[in-house]
């Protein structure tokens, strides 16, 4: 048996063991969640997600279940982060809307009355993924190309219709792009103290404190950052410590 064949067989056995290990882990995690053993459920779902991500598989359901476990532990910041991940991975828009509704309920419960959830553009941005953006861009290209070809061949009426349809998809793609960019700098405030102070500048002087926001609050990061500080623009304009920020990346 050649070394190449041995290597392939070793890889297949290794992959099989990982796949077999993941499924009992999922069942155990579900059982822990149903039994309100949230710490155990959180650990097992995290392990399951790591196993699957190593195989290139992402599961919105797993992140949603981890969100439920974190909520059971009253770790709102981690829960919101997992809910965001679930929404971004969810292909079913109806399920995504239910999760967005849960996300906005959490923000309201944290006292955020004038934030992301009051913006229709933000809600649309959560529903628009890379696949939607790519699909509308491809449709715009082919409709325009087909219309131009027909126009050159003097089938002007049909050509105008196809070019017009292509322009429509260009407009949709543009809207989707800017909506998609809205969530590019989305992050979550996190702290063991449950509240995070926001300051006027990065010197963090006590007399320049603007407000204290609850852990789990959605924030929008600007391009301005210092060594240990980050400027935010939502829900208020100010500076927070970088150690109090959880990002989706």
Residues of the chain with pLDDT under 70: 1-22, 121, 123-125, 127-133, 176, 179-184
| Beta carbons of 226 and 204 less than 8 angstroms apart | no
pLDDT at position 12: 35
- The CATH superfamily label for domain 3-112 reads Tetratricopeptide repeat domain (1.25.40.10)
pLDDT at position 115: 74
Both tokens of 145, joined, read 């190309």
The rounded distance, in Å, linking the Cα atoms of 22 and 32 is 15
**Sequence spans of domains, the chain:** 3-112, 130-182, 186-247
pLDDT at position 182: 60
If residue 241 lies in a helix (H) or strand (E), which one and from where to where? strand 238-241
How many H-runs (helices) and E-runs (strands) does the chain carry?
Answer: 8, 7
The rounded distance, in Å, linking the Cα atoms of 177 and 182 is 9
The CATH code for residues 186-247 is 2.30.30.40
pLDDT at position 42: 96
């Amino acid at each position: 048996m050649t070394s190449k064949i041995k290597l392939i067989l070793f890889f297949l056995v290794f992959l099989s063991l990982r796949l077999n290990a993941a499924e009992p882990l999922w069942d155990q995690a579900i059982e822990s969640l149903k039994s309100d053993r949230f710490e155990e459920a959180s650990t097992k779902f995290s392990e399951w997600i790591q196993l699957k991500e190593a195989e290139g598989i992402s599961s919105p359901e797993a992140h949603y279940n981890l969100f439920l476990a974190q909520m059971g532990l009253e770790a709102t910041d981690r829960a919101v982060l997992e809910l965001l991940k679930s929404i971004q991975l969810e292909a079913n828009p109806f399920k995504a809307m239910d999760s967005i509704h849960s996300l906005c309920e959490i923000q309201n419960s944290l006292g955020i009355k004038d934030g992301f959830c009051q913006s229709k553009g933000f809600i649309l941005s959560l529903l628009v993924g890379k696949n939607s953006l790519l699909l509308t861009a491809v449709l715009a290209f082919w409709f325009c190309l087909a219309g131009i070809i027909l126009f050159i061949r003097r089938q002007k009426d049909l050509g105008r219709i196809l070019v017009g349809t292509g322009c429509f998809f260009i407009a949709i793609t543009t809207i989707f792009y800017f909506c998609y960019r809205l969530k590019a700098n989305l992050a979550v405030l996190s702290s063991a103290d449950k509240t995070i102070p926001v300051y006027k500048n990065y010197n963090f002087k006590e007399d320049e404190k603007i407000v204290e926001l609850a852990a789990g609050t959605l924030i929008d990061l600007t391009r301005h950052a210092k060594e240990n500080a980050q400027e935010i623009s939502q829900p208020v304009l100010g500076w927070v410590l970088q150690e109090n920020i959880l990002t989706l990346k």
